[in-house]
Amino acid sequence: MWIAAARNAAEDLAKAQAEEADHETDFDEVAELEDRLTVFGTTIKTFRDLSEGARKPSAASSYSSQTQNALEECVKQKSDCVTRSWDELLETVDGLRGSRKDREKELRFRDACDEISTLLDRVREIIAAADPGSPAEQDLLRSAEDLLHTEAWPRAIALRQCAAETASSPSVLARYLETQRQIQDQIWEAFDEVEDRRTSVDRETLLKRFETGCARFDLLVEEVSRVVADAAAAVTAASAAAVGVPGGKAPPTDSECEAIALDLDTRFALTSRRVEPLLERIEGVARRVGDGARPVEMAARWKGIVAWKDGVKEELLKRTKARRTVKKSALPTMVRSRTIALATPSSTPPTTPQRSALTIPPPPYPSPTSSPTPSPTPPSRGPVRVYLPSNRYVPTNPHDALDVQIARIVNASPASVRVQPIPGEPGRYRFGEALPRLCFCRLLRDQQVMVRIGGGYQELGAFLVEHATLEHRIPTIRSFGAGEQAGEEHRGTVVELAPGSADPYVLATKKPKQFASAIMASARKDRNAD
């Protein structure tokens, strides 16, 4: 009876905790229930001892062996039933939030967090003790970095597994994971502080670098603004001509508007490739200088120019889209009768209709069975060259462990991303070609390369896959001169398509199998990206 009542109380508490995630007012009731279980545990122990004694055969018993066996079986069933109910009650109480077992798990997680916090305090003390310019500065910074690599970072990784093991509910797990993420961010901040101290420069040089970057950004913005302004003038002239307003110059035609839009998009993309890495570099220098407002204003200014360009391009393509829509709607349609004409017997032979009576309009589009007449003199043109990118990267410094490890990861990755080191800036690399991104890389003790992304870090292999997926959505057009092919061989393969032949896709190169396999790999990569 008591076990059943206690189990009902435990189930009621579990139901109340499930309905309200942050229900902490019933923790006192859980503690009181555990205290009563502890007191009642002595009664359960006494009952088990009595049941064991009753099951032992006694020589002085007057019962027959059959009756004795029946009594022992009855005692065993009663004892097993009570033991099973007691174990189920203990399991239900242990599953409650605020129980003794739950508090032990939470204490285990907090102890792990306190150990990492103690290590971080020790690292901060070492960094503070490293006086700038002193002979022991680099040794102290190196010891702080070793402590972060060997002690703090592995424990932060293990803390995630500890959170999954000690959490008693999804809400508690989310709270534990948020604590783990904050500790991990503190470790990366300590890494950045050590790196800044080891590669520190004077404030005057940083200010000069910051002002140079801002001036370069202003020049690029002025250059691209002139391009967009010229395209906007063409839009104004075309709009004025459409409503009958005379202008000083001849308005552009629809085809000219389309060409202007294509030229605007191409030139803007070239400038954007230079502006985006420049903004990232200016933001990094601004953090060290302490001027965080200028990069925000510059980023907002650039977003406004991008929106201006998109609006001008849309206006340029409006007339072309309208003209194409009118042409498609003007296509004649052939109406076929659904009535089937039945053949009737006739005594007169069928007569052939005159050609003048047959008025069959020509099809609005080429028939799939018709083939165009080949021109007797095909136009003379050079071979079509297709560029097949390669992810091959050769380290510029064989003695640099970071550069060698980046080359190993890039060459082993299935993603095809171009990698360029930044001269004079150790650890900085430019990833990509269609969407270049300037990032800072760091080599950990376990030979893992981390890439600085925004306010955190990402593993290099995962970053390459994500960046390659973004780049494959943008077609890259290349033009090759007479002496450019040899310089591009280390980055890809140039395949020539033979012109002027019956089959326009006949390969003029000696590597058709390589071309076909590269095309199939590119198609699979695009399909996976979609």
CATH number, residue 154: 1.20.58
Residue after which a domain boundary falls, among 258, 293, 325: 325
Q: What is the pLDDT of residues 287-312, one digit of tens each?
A: 777 777 888 888 889 999 999 989 88
Same domain, 87 and 21: yes
Structural domain contains residue 42: yes
Q: What is the pLDDT of residues 380-408, one digit of tens each?
A: 455 545 444 566 788 888 888 899 999 99
Same domain, 176 and 242: no
What pLDDT was estimated at residue 324? 56
CB 117 within 8 A of CB 190: no
Region label for 340, one of left (φ > 0), alpha (ψ between -120 and 50) or beta (otherwise): beta
- What's the rounded mean pLDDT across residues 97-117? 75
Region label for 470, one of left (φ > 0), alpha (ψ between -120 and 50) or beta (otherwise): alpha
Residue after which a domain boundary falls, among 94, 113, 133: 94
Structural domain contains residue 174: yes
Count of the separate structural domains present in the chain: 4
Same domain, 412 and 275: no
Q: What is the pLDDT of residues 119-173, one digit of tens each?
A: 999 988 888 887 776 777 778 888 888 888 888 888 888 888 888 887 766 777 8
Mean pLDDT of the chain: 71
Structural domain contains residue 106: yes
Structural domain contains residue 356: no
Domain that holds residue 240: 203-325
CA 111, 116, 119, 125 dihedral sign is negative
Residue after which a domain boundary falls, among 158, 181, 198: 198
Structural domain contains residue 331: no
Q: What is the pLDDT of residues 9-64, one digit of tens each?
A: 666 666 666 656 554 545 556 666 666 666 667 777 777 777 777 666 665 566 66
* Cα gap 491→7, rounded to integer Å: 71
CATH number, residue 418: 3.30.920.20
Tell me: pLDDT of 487 over 50.
no
- Closest by Cα among 176, 3, 180, 172 to 99: 172
Tell me the pLDDT band of 421, cut-offs 50, 70 and 90.
very high
Structural domain contains residue 66: yes
Residue 166 one-letter amino acid: T
* Cα gap 490→396, rounded to integer Å: 13
Structural domain contains residue 348: no
Same domain, 518 and 407: yes
Tell me the pLDDT band of 272, cut-offs 50, 70 and 90.
confident
Q: What is the pLDDT of residues 328-349, one digit of tens each?
A: 444 454 444 444 443 444 444 4
| Cβ contacts of 69-75, under 8 Å, gap ≥ 24 | 75/51
Same domain, 164 and 226: no
- Taking each helix axis as running N to C, give the angle between helix 27-55 and helix 2-19, from 0 to 180 degrees, rounded to the nearest 10: 150
**Count of residues making up the chain:** 530
What pLDDT was estimated at residue 338? 42
Take residue 451 and report the two structure tokens written for it: 């890439």
Q: What are the backbone angles phi and psi of residue 442, rounded to the nearest 5°?
A: -135, 140
Same domain, 163 and 258: no
